[in-house]
A and B are shown apart, each in its own frame.
Chain A
Amino acid sequence: MTGSSMTLDQILVEALALMFLYSTPYLFAALGEVFAQRSGVLNLGVEGIMLMGAFSGIYVISSKGLGQEPMVGLLVAMLVGGLMGLAMAVVSVTFKAEQGISGIGFTLFGLGLSSLLFKSLAGGVITAQGEGFQAVTIPILSDLPVIGKIFFQQNVLVYVAFALVPISVWILNRTTWGLQIRAVGQNPAAADAMGVNVDRVRYSTVILGGVLAGIAGASLSIAVTPIFQENMTAGRGFIAVALVYFGGWSPWRVMAGALLFAIANNLQIWAQILDVQIVGQSIPPNLLIMAPYILTIAVLVFARQRKRLEPAALTKPFMRGEN
């Protein structure tokens, strides 16, 4: 190993801290997808929603936008994500469209619209004003050796993402809404007979999924890499959907998956920084960039054992008296 003045320990700490930062976009998007899928809707439009969230979030706080407060950018991204979630809900719940294909439609729409807006509104270059989301150091805890740097000097989005994991578990398992979500995802006809409004529950989860995908996009453009590029999500939205399968629809295991993929992302970054060599030659960067995608396929093969956990009504539109 060459090309670095840091000690190996310092590099490791840095890499672990980055792992949490890079896992946030995956985590937000995948948690949103957990809600949608637990209610029986496969939202494959996450990728497009993330792109729109990423663009709108950073555009709002660019020099052509509204100011430099990152929270405003985040709120706009949530709003845009929620609106796209609403549109997805109309298509998949009210119009009962095939969910895999309509999701691809939303992905194309988000990809095209974010590129179009990027070029026509922002002229192809966006730089955020201000400092973006700053690291929030937690008093006392952040001073702990090693752990302090890894866990307690992150930006606010990282804390929120990880706090959402137990909150999601609690909502799904301990609240009436959560019970309704699970009922609607397992047996919509029975839920309907019990007086649950199947469509309304599904609308709520798909919109929530959209809001979280919007945050996921904004966390990418505001917090992780403070720029916007066309198609900057590069498949992360689809990876988030894969994480839901990998995690067996459980927020805790989805979190583990998000951390795993953050490592795969960092693998590429760190191999470049550390200049890892194989037989005297550095690994071509393009091959390292492949890592998360190959890992996704591997993870999906592994996840087939979780198939029994799949919500029974996943991808099946509900039509009273027909299912």
Chain B
Amino acid sequence: MMTRRLFGQRARLSAADLVVWIVPLVAVLLALAVGALLLLALGANPIEAYSVMLDGAFGDQAALFRTLTRATPLLLIAIGICIAFRGGVINIGAEGQLFVGAVSATAFSLAAGPTIPAPWIAILTLLVGFLGGAAWGAIPGILKARFDVNEILTTVMMNQIAIQLLLFLLSGPMIDPEQIRQGTRISQSAQLPESSWLPRLAPPSQLHLGLFIGLAAAIVIYVLLWRTTLGYRIRAVGLSKDAARYAGISVPRYLTLALILSGGLAGLAGSVEVTGVTHRMVEGFAVGYGFSGIVVALFGRLHPLGAIPSAFLFGALLVGAEKMQRTIQVPSATVIALQGLVVIFVVSSELLVRRWTARRQARALPSAPVLPGVPASASHQEVSA
């Protein structure tokens, strides 16, 4: 609860606050329990599977670094999802926004790499990644703001379009010239010039500077959402469009802005991944990160700082699952199913949280809903600029 004291909110822990954090944890344990039953039914030993996962994620220093490396893009995506969901737009398009961000960053770095000197090229590459993702998020944002088009569906469609765009670019216009020369034609881009790589923090591990970019972004977005007028307006639109309109806030503008910022952070995640880890775009790059990022954000209760431990947990889950697949041949798709269960259980537990805190709220100030569209729930964040 240190963070809350730091940021000037109530520091005393009440029973209801405890429930707000314990319920999602119970939801994850429930998901793991259902997952265990599933593994049992498939003839795998769930205790062995989970301990292999744990070992793969935290077993030694290398494992821990792998977990942190994996948590980095998840954190950036999740922070973006926080902005969108708090602003009343359900952005399911992080996957596509990440691809477009990564591919624009790659194209920029390959084109401008020889002409721009060392630190600047890396910074500009990340910026281009942000802009690429933001542009991809702007399309559903504008459609929602201007035509009231359901953003869940458009962002899902934008994901599919981005996947095909990526495959097209990597097998055609952006294919590595080396692949053509050798006649192998593997769908991947050329390697980025070394000047745009992010510094590695602990070689030989892949842990890179992106981790700190993610942590810094979490603090920046926290301040943006809760300490600036801009953030206040985004959240006001998310809480009640009618009330925001009545208060003179341009609802379409802030809906669009929320999706643009959200897409930008997903795009940044993509460019961080490509400059920090892979150093080139390859087919199958970062598949599934966008959806994991949504789960991370929900589990972090749509709070940028809550996303930090949450990203760490799900990074561990994903890294552990790879180990599980390698050593005991339990498919890593298990984790996708587990993530689905986590979402289902977390969202379902809202009602319990809400009932538990209802009594307290009857006496205290009304508080903000955690999920868009859910009336009066258990959030402890006050609506204040």
Min distance, Cβ B285 to any Cβ of chain A, angstroms:
15
Partner-contacting stretch, out of B150-158, B205-213, B253-261: B150-158
Whether A102 touches B333, Cβ cut-off 8 Å, given contacts A296-B153, A297-B143, is no
Question: Once the chains are docked, how many angstroms separate the CA of A290 from the CA of B166?
Answer: 11
Min distance, Cβ A39 to any Cβ of chain B, angstroms:
18
B residues within 8 A CB of A12? none
B164-A108 in contact (CB<8A) = no
B161-A109 in contact (CB<8A) = no
B374-A286 in contact (CB<8A) = no
Cross-chain contact of A97 among B92, B335, B348 (Cβ < 8 A): B348
B residues within 8 A CB of A131? none
State the 4 A-B residue pairs at the shortest beta-carbon distance, nearest first. Answer: A109-B340, A112-B336, A112-B337, A105-B343
Whether A238 touches B335, Cβ cut-off 8 Å, given contacts A108-B343, A301-B143, is no
* B350 within 8 A of partner (CB): yes
Whether A105 touches B341, Cβ cut-off 8 Å, given contacts A290-B160, A296-B157, is yes
Q: Tell me the B residues contacting A by CB distance below 8 Å.
A: 38, 42, 44, 90, 92, 143, 147-150, 152-154, 156-161, 164-165, 167-168, 171-172, 291, 294-295, 298, 330-331, 333-344, 347-351, 371-374
A286-B171 in contact (CB<8A) = yes
Interface size on A, residues (CB 8 A): 50
Partner-contacting stretch, out of A116-124, A145-153, A169-177, A210-218: A116-124
Whether A289 touches B333, Cβ cut-off 8 Å, given contacts A105-B344, A296-B157, A297-B154, is no
A112-B149 in contact (CB<8A) = no
Min distance, Cβ B316 to any Cβ of chain A, angstroms:
17
18 additional contacts (CB under 8 A) given A104-B343, A112-B336: A87-B344, A91-B347, A97-B351, A98-B374, A100-B152, A104-B291, A108-B291, A111-B333, A116-B38, A116-B333, A230-B333, A238-B156, A241-B153, A242-B150, A284-B171, A290-B165, A297-B149, A304-B148
Min distance, Cβ B44 to any Cβ of chain A, angstroms:
8
A residues within 8 A CB of B160? 234-235, 290, 293
Q: Report the nearest B residue to A108, measured CB to CB.
A: B340
A97-B340 in contact (CB<8A) = no
A80-99: CB near B (< 8 Å → 1, else 0) gives: 00000001001100011110
Cross-chain contact of B330 among A109, A117, A120, A121 (Cβ < 8 A): A120
Q: Report the nearest A residue to B374, measured CB to CB.
A: A98
Instruction: List 7 contacting pairs A-B, 8 Å CB cutoff, sorted by A.
Output: A90-B348, A97-B351, A98-B350, A112-B338, A116-B333, A242-B153, A307-B148
B residues within 8 A CB of A230? 333
Whether A109 touches B348, Cβ cut-off 8 Å, given contacts A296-B157, A297-B143, A307-B148, is no
Question: Once the chains are docked, how many angstroms separate the CA of A241 from the CA of B373?
Answer: 19
* A136 within 8 A of partner (CB): no
B residues within 8 A CB of A101? 90, 298, 343, 347, 371
Question: Once the chains are docked, how many angstroms separate the CA of A117 from the CA of B351?
Answer: 32
B residues within 8 A CB of A57? none
Whether A115 touches B164, Cβ cut-off 8 Å, given contacts A106-B340, A307-B148, is no
* A140 within 8 A of partner (CB): no
Question: Once the chains are docked, how many angstroms separate the CA of A287 from the CA of B152?
Answer: 22
B344-A100 in contact (CB<8A) = no
Min distance, Cβ B337 to any Cβ of chain A, angstroms:
3
Question: Once the chains are docked, how many angstroms separate the CA of A296 from the CA of B143?
Answer: 13
B348-A48 in contact (CB<8A) = no
Question: Once the chains are docked, how many angstroms separate the CA of A111 from the CA of B374?
Answer: 26
A residues within 8 A CB of B341? 105, 109
